[in-house]
A = this chain, B = another copy of it.
Amino acid sequence: MTAPVSIRGVGTSRFARQPETPPTHLAWQAVTEALADAGVTPAAVEAVYAGTVFGDPGVTTRTLQHLGITGVPVVTVENACASGTTAFHEAHVAVGQGRYETVLAFGIETMTAVFDGPIEPLLSDPEGAQGFAMPSLYGMAAHRYQHCYGVTPEQMALVAVKNRRHALGNPRAQHAGEFTVEQILDSRPISDPLTLLQCCDISDAAAAAVLGPPRPAGGTGGDSDVPVRASALASGQAWDHTSDLVWGWQLVSDTGRAAFEQAGIGPEDIDVLEVHDAFTIGEIVTTEALGLCELGGGGALVASGRTSLGGAQPVNPSGGLLARGHPLGATGLGQIAEIVWQLRGMAEGRQVEGARIGVVETMGGGTAGIDGNACVVAVLEAPGEPR
Contact = CB atoms under 8 A, between A and B. Distances in A.
A107 to B, nearest CB: 13
Interface stretch (A58-66, A216-224, A345-353): A58-66
A280 B79 CA distance: 35
B234 A61 contact: no
B77 A75 contact: yes
Nearest to A66: B369
A237 B70 contact: yes
Given A62-B367, A97-B97, A373-B61, A124 B56 contact: yes
A99 B54 CA distance: 30
Contact of A122 (B56, B123, B233, B373): B56
Interface residues of A, number: 52
Interface in A88-119: 90, 93, 97, 99, 110, 113
Copies in the complex: 2
A58 B235 contact: no
Contacts of A110: 123
A227 interface: no
A374 interface: yes
A122 B77 contact: no
A65 B124 contact: no
Contacts of A313: none
A369 B77 CA distance: 23
A77 B24 CA distance: 19
15 contacts: A56-B122, A56-B123, A57-B122, A61-B235, A62-B125, A62-B369, A62-B370, A65-B238, A65-B369, A70-B236, A71-B254, A73-B234, A73-B235, A76-B79, A93-B99
Interface of A: 22-24, 48, 53-59, 61-62, 64-65, 68, 70-80, 86, 90, 93, 97, 99, 110, 113, 122-125, 233-238, 254, 365, 367, 369-371, 373-374
